[in-house]
Structure 1
Amino acid sequence: MSNTNKIPREEGIDHSLSLIREGYRYISNRRQSFHSDIFETRLLGKKAICMGGKEAAEVFYDTEKFQRKDAAPNRVVQTLFGKNGVQALDGEAHKHRKEMFMSIMSPDGIKSLIDITKKQWEMAVDKWIRMDEVILYEEAQEIMCRTACQWAGIPVQEEKVRELTKDLGAMFESPAAIGPNHWLGRNARNRVEKWMGELIDEVRNGNMNISTNTILYRFAQYRDLEGNLLDTKTAAVEVINILRPIVAIAIFINFIALSLHHFPEEKGKLKFKDEEYAQIFIQEVRRFYPFFPFVTALVKKDFTWNNYKFEEGTLTLLDLYGTNHDPKIWDNPDVFNPDRFTRWEGSPFSFIPQGGGDYFMGHRCAGEWVTLEVMKVSLDYLVHRIEYEIPDQDLSFIMVDMPSIPHSKIVIKSIKRTL
């Protein structure tokens, strides 16, 4: 007789459409109805295990139990991640590739990023004060695209910036989309990978005059565990894995503006408190608002956890949004309260807007430090350096869209400098 418990199971042939219809809350809704942090379902015609919470995150990021290779659905690979990128590696190959990403997160590298971000904000504000109105989400994407390219040492002709911005945005806006919007993302990735591949070939052939300290040069010359250069396409994917996530910070910038509008008392606090309060405010924006809904992995080998049996090869989803709103972890999780982070212990498994675990050894997003610093600069501009009005508009957002952003993309007008 088995000593294991039976995982609660969602009845039905397949629930992929339910996931699309319910978006960020798909896993959380069932965790609540089953009164369990784990349940079994069927997605894309396969058995899948969904789970959430701190303990679930701890086991999910155990590299002895789960692997990332072949875990992401093809539609996500073809839009968001790209083929053979760091997200799909395991073991020593993953560790070695991840070190390449972490190497650019040095104090000097981050300082350079901050300086570039400030410069791009300054240029954007110069433009905005002459405009009748600004669609913040679209403008923030362009700020982030310019910042990412300059930081990475990637030359972009001025007339190509807007097109590149849209293509990089389409990569993270399209994975969950159906029909034409999804194919926009695929086509965008194909265009950018082709262009990036051409740049990498020029660097390798010595036809591009570029500093050896740039991210583009370092990634183009990166060698794997066997001492081989990455093939051009994979090298292009990894450079894009720097650009795309930085452009995606525009989502958080939009939610910064929304939170300042919905919670004006917080804006007052930010004006008079120190940088520490700005830090916890940003963390609460990242916890409170939707960003990544979940991450996927495959069971590496049979194991038992909490008396539940996991079978090799089973698709497993970890609920990121739900864990960040788990009442077992957070008091009043549906209340926006930056002060909660003054008491936060800093667990890498309870607060996981961009994944959990260790940066160097695990699959926690290498760009999280980048996200925090860019958000700090953006918050400073929206609170201290400009004044603006938010006219009547549809500021609502729905948890079905992945990613979810306010419907109006936040229109601002009457923009003036204050510093």
Structure 2
Amino acid sequence: MTEIPRDRTFDCTLALLGNGYRFISQRCERNGADAFRTRMLMRPAVCVTGESAAEMFYHPDRFTRKRAMPPNTLMSLQDIGSVQSLDGAAHRHRKQMFMSLMTPESIQRHGEIFERIWRSALTEWSAKDSVTLHYAVEELLCRAVCEWTGIKLTDHEAEQRTREFSAMIDGAGAIGPRNWKGLTLRRRTERWARKLIEDVRHAPLSRQVRSPLETIALFRDENGEVLSTEVAGVELLNILRPTVAVARFITFAALALHNYPQYRDKLRDGGEPWRQMFTMEVRRFYPFFPLVAGNALETFEWQDYRIEKGTWVMLDMHGINHDARIWGDPHDFRPERFENWPGNPNAPVPQGAGDFASGHRCPGEWITEELIRRALHMLVSGMQYDVPAQNLSIDMSRLPAIPESRFIISNARSA
């Protein structure tokens, strides 16, 4: 076995916070390997990058997510008892609950709701001097996913829930006030989610086909027991919150249209194939979450390295999406690279890798793509708008990243 290179920095916590998305790939390049040993938060860790690393990391039942993320990040994103914290048969059984919601008909319905709500919002946008697209789309997504899930919201509730979900997402990669705000607001959101679960369990089913809310509330685990109210509420939030996070991809899609206007006509005239290629490139090119971590459940070999049971491993998601060995000119924005793309479960990996059903890959990836495609249709064909001067820079040390101005538009109106 080859010894995994050891980074010369004793503890890389500050380096990760300083370099953000580029941390692992830069250190791997400096160490001349796809892996290096270091410490994070004074804990030994192995950082890995590359397509084969994604395949290794997402091999079923090889890693557990338990105790793999800092507690504040875990509480912001998943929380205790969620599907991502399970392993083996329990994970696969719970995962099927989420996968059952991802039928083509259900995904299409979600997209149709989102587009309808966006079109309706244009009337309000047209009366304003300017609109900050990122914040506006977060609310559209919150309204859409709640309607799709079977949750009725008043206007006040929609604004309140959007603020809460947005704070959870924005604080997930932070240390300090941004994270504290997300955690504080999450407690209120969890109480609301638990009440929804309890209401469903005390009421008859409203229709033959269960809504996503009903599916979660009435789901039975591998032992035939319904989930506790607390865990069912967490899983409900694990549908709602990630959908609101798609606003980041949509904001980046609007930025890409602004920076690469030559693709507007292609998107308008090329229809669904071009919207899909553009969506894939947005998800590959722009920063979402930088890495994912897990603890090895077994000892195994990878690339002539030996990974011992219990090793804390961090997978470089952003680096894989910008790996020149996979993409060629990875820092160029080129949707054409996905023309006739055969598909690859291990690259790109903006929301995980491997198999959806058996592994920890995000089950909402298809909904994410649908919502981005719908947003592209609206931005290109459903509305007109101007982009005033603003700061569109992206701080790659900020986790999660977002354009500084959150993408401001003016003179928004229906096309």
| Pair 1:230 & 2:223 matched | no
Deviations 1:299-328 (A, max 9, x none): 111222222111111111111110000011
| Structure 1 counterpart SS, 2:324 | coil
Distance 1:193 1:143 in 2: 21
For 2:243, the equivalent position in structure 1 comes to 246
For 2:15, the equivalent position in structure 1 comes to 18
- Structure 1 runs of 4+ aligned residues shifted over 4 Å read 207-212
| Pair 1:77 & 2:74 matched | yes
| Pair 1:322 & 2:349 matched | no
Question: What letter is aligned with 2:222?
Answer: L
TM-score by length of 1: 0.96
Distance 2:195 2:310 in 1: 37
For 1:300, the equivalent position in structure 2 comes to 297
Picking from 306, 314, 317, the partner of 1:309 is: 306
Post-superposition shift, 1:216?
Answer: 0.8
For 1:273, the equivalent position in structure 2 comes to 270
Deviations 1:197-252 (A, max 9, x none): 01111211228968762111110011100011111111001011110111001001
TM-score by length of 2: 0.97
Question: What letter is aligned with 1:40?
Answer: R
Distance 1:55 1:218 in 2: 36
Distance 2:218 2:392 in 1: 45
Post-superposition shift, 1:345?
Answer: 2.8
| Pair 1:357 & 2:354 matched | yes
Deviations 1:324-371 (A, max 9, x none): 000110110000000011143311002111100011111111000000
For 2:198, the equivalent position in structure 1 comes to 201
Post-superposition shift, 1:274?
Answer: 2.7
For 2:151, the equivalent position in structure 1 comes to 154
For 2:184, the equivalent position in structure 1 comes to 187
Distance 1:123 1:401 in 2: 33
For 1:109, the equivalent position in structure 2 comes to 106
Post-superposition shift, 1:64?
Answer: 4.0
Question: What letter is aligned with 2:147?
Answer: Q
Unaligned runs of 5+ in 1: none
Question: What letter is aligned with 1:80?
Answer: L
Distance 1:305 1:213 in 2: 44
Question: What letter is aligned with 1:167?
Answer: E
| Pair 1:128 & 2:114 matched | no
Identity of aligned residues (%): 41
Tell me, yes or no, if the aligned pair for 2:45 and 2:311 is still in contact at 8 Å: yes
**Equivalent residue runs for 1:213-224 within 5 Å:** 213-224=210-221
Unaligned runs of 5+ in 2: none
| Pair 1:28 & 2:25 matched | yes
| Structure 1 counterpart SS, 2:293 | strand
Question: What letter is aligned with 2:156?
Answer: E
Q: Work out the number of aligned pairs and report it.
A: 415
Distance 2:270 2:287 in 1: 26
Distance 2:156 2:135 in 1: 16
Post-superposition shift, 1:78?
Answer: 1.2
Tell me, yes or no, if the aligned pair for 2:138 and 2:245 is still in contact at 8 Å: yes
| Structure 2 counterpart SS, 1:375 | helix
Distance 1:270 1:301 in 2: 47
RMSD of Structure 2 on Structure 1 (CA): 1.4
**Equivalent residue runs for 1:2-17 within 5 Å:** 4-17=1-14
Post-superposition shift, 1:272?
Answer: 2.0
For 1:380, the equivalent position in structure 2 comes to 377
| Structure 2 counterpart SS, 1:281 | helix
Distance 2:392 2:303 in 1: 42
